[in-house]
Amino acid sequence: MMENTKCIEKVEKKVCDHFSISVPNKPEYVNVVRLTTSAIASRMGFNIEQIEDIKVAIAEACTNAIKHGLCNHNQNFDINFFIDDEKIIIDVIDKGTGFASNEIEKPDLTSPKEGGLGIFIIQSLMDKVEIVSEIGKGTRLQMIKYLGDDI
């Protein structure tokens, strides 16, 4: 599952630009990732609201990689950005603890408790989210945001 990620939705004839960064698993770098992501999204033509959504989503994904995935590992995690003229695909990949991603529960918003909201927030802000995780091997969270009207 940790093989090189492809541009899953690559449309024929369209060129997909690929931009990647390797990030130390320290919370102080999350803001660097937010700013990098913001710069890419802005250059692509996303509006301010969409850019804010993408920034929140990437910050939640990075925080999970750092806090849950790599908590006891002294390792970097990777972010891949696949860019074309209709969407951005962002992969956040850690080779950390992994988890049972098929057992993610929807948070009970009527009786909010602390924590357990990050993935739900990512799903609400992005157009598509896919999580592939394997215990002991790591996690890949892939999220897609389309330019233009929200779908």
Site residues for ligand ATP per CB under 6 A:
60, 64-65, 68-69, 94, 96-99, 115-120, 139
**Residue 25 interacting entry, from ligand ATP, Mg ion, none, C-beta within 5 to 8 Å by type:** none
Of Mg ion, ligand ATP, none, which one does residue 94 interact with (CB within 5 to 8 Å by kind)? ligand ATP
The dihedral of CA 12, 61, 137, 115: what is its sign? Answer: negative
Give me the residues paired with residue 89 across strands: 82, 144
Q: Which of 118, 122, 138, 141 binds Mg ion (CB under 5 A)?
A: 118
Pick 53 or 94: Cβ nearer ligand ATP: 94
To ligand ATP, the closest distance from the beta carbon of 105 in angstroms equals 9
The partner in contact with residue 50, picked from ligand ATP, Mg ion, none with C-beta cut-offs of 5 to 8 angstroms by kind, is none
Q: For strand 138-146 and strand 128-134, is the pairing parallel, antiparallel, or unpaired?
A: antiparallel
C-alpha distances out from residue 136 to 33, 96, 119, Å? 25, 7, 20
Decide whether 42 or 123 has the Cβ nearer to ligand ATP: 123
User: What is the rounded CA–CA span in Å between residue 47 and residue 45?
Assistant: 6
- One of 5, 25, 37, 64 touching Mg ion (CB under 5 A): 64
Nearer to Mg ion, 64 or 142 (CB): 64
Q: How far is the CB of 27 from ligand ATP (least distance, A)?
A: 12
Task: Please name the residues in contact with 5: beta carbons below 8 A apart, sequence gap of 6 or more.
Answer: 80, 91, 93, 140, 142
State the minimum distance, in angstroms, from the CB of residue 121 to Mg ion: 8
| Residues found near Mg ion in the complex (CB under 5 A) | 64, 118
